[in-house]
Amino acid sequence: MGDGDAVEIDGGIMEGGGQILRVSTALSCLLKKPLRVKNIRAGRSQPGLRPQHLSGLEMVQHLCDGQLEGGKIGSTEITFIPGKIKGGTHVADTKTAGSVCLLMQVAMPCVLFAESPSELRLKGGTNAEMAPQIDYTVMVFKPIVEKFSLTLDCEIKRRGYYPKGGGEVIVRMPPVRQLSPVNLTDRGTVTKIHGRAFVAGALPIKLAKDMSSAAVRCIRKEIRDLYVNIQAVQEPEKEAFGSGSGIIIVAETSTGCLLAGSSLGKRGKSSDKVGIEAAEMLLGNLRHGGAVDDYLQDQLIIFMALANGVSRVKTGPITLHTQTAIHFAELLTKAKFTVTKSEDEESSKDAYIIECQGTGMLNANLSFLLY
């Protein structure tokens, strides 16, 4: 493999997990830069590639006709040489409860710069620990990321839970010529709080109702003047594989910001605790005065780096995931990020502004449309 000029990445620094792999693989693919990542997930209890990381890598390899070396479970070093990004249908199956949302994170930036529309068929866990729930992706991530002038259609075919997975999501995206920068600095006032508490499989609907009422009680202590509507849902049998439960609560603001809190049920954890956990996460996200919540921060970094112009996003305390995404986005692209403490009166002392001079990546595959 002609990788003499490969960008060398140390996968063990900072957050030290799969995220480094996702950000650097996507950018390698977009910039056509060969990549070598070593010390993959060095700090994790099971170091090296897990099934979800490997299926994400293989999908990117497939969608750009790239070459991948070291692509096997447990591998701590990979070399990736990207080719040309093509549209069409791409399938990734973790064959576990590995998160479909994380598969989406690695593939999405790539297919935006394909030559034709793409369909990603992603199989695995839809509501899994240590990853965004698919409901978060649809209810929060999608409407906000579309502000970069892209279109994301996400169809949940079947939900899948830990430990079996078995879920399937279909993502459809047309290519873009270029991404627009965003300005997400004005939080506005909270106008609406809604959500869904779900059970699937063998679990009784009472659990969902208990999660919902515990969450509502918790929110009411702090926010008294808003109607809080959290539906309790039993997932239809055909649309869920295995048993699972959880909750997501979303706050909408007067300026169109969306902030969330979520939690998953598991054996030995009371429904009340699940509901309260999600409510407290939401309230924490509302307290810092940021225009995005703590889970959206890092997911926006790659789009800010690619956009044409200056993006500004107001956040709460900068997470390690976000610092990591910024580090690798700057390393691989010419984007420049600055993080400053937010000085305005409304914000708490924990609010920050992430500013990025994006690179204005152009879709070379679409250039013929201009002539």
**90-121 per-position pLDDT tens digit:** 999 999 999 999 999 999 999 999 999 999 99
6-42: per-residue pLDDT in tens?
A: 999 999 999 999 999 999 999 999 999 999 999 999 8
pLDDT at 116: 95
Band (pLDDT 50/70/90 cuts) for residue 348 is low
Query: What pLDDT is stored for residue 68 in this prediction?
Result: 98
- Mean pLDDT of the 324-331 span: 98
Give the pLDDT band (50/70/90) at residue 371: very low
CB 305 within 8 A of CB 289: no
What tens digit of pLDDT does each residue of 184-213 get? 999 999 999 999 999 999 999 999 999 999
Residue 1 has pLDDT above 60, yes or no: no
Confidence check: pLDDT of 367 > 90: no
Name residue 78's amino acid. Answer: I
Dihedral angle computed from the Cα positions of residues 8, 2, 5 and 175, in that order, rounded to the nearest 10 degrees:
-80
pLDDT, position 368: 58
Q: Which residues are catalytic?
A: 321
Specify the DSSP class assigned to residue 291.
Answer: S
pLDDT, tens digit, for every residue of 65-98?
999 999 999 999 999 999 999 999 999 999 999 9
pLDDT, tens digit, for every residue of 205-257?
A: 999 999 999 999 999 999 999 999 999 999 999 999 999 999 999 999 999 99
CA-CA distance, 36 to 59, in Å (whole number)? 17
Which string of DSSP letters, residue by residue, matches 72-86? STT-S-EEEE-----
Distance (Å) of CA 14 to CA 11, 203, 318, 323, 351:
8, 39, 13, 8, 22
pLDDT reported for residue 347? 58
- Contact of 73 with 50, CB cutoff 8 Å: yes
Average pLDDT of the chain to the nearest whole number: 95
| DSSP-assigned letters across all residues of 157-216 | EEEEBTTTB-EEEEEEE---S-PPP-EE-----EEEEEEEEEEETT--HHHHHHHHHHHH
Q: How confident is the model at residue 344 (pLDDT cuts 50, 70, 90)?
A: confident
Per-residue model confidence (pLDDT) at position 5: 84
pLDDT at 3 over 60: no
Kindly report the pTM of this predicted structure.
Answer: 0.95
- Crossing angle for the helix pair 18-31 and 297-306, to the nearest 10 degrees: 10
Sheet containing strand 336-341, edge to edge, reads 183-184, 310-315, 352-357, 336-341
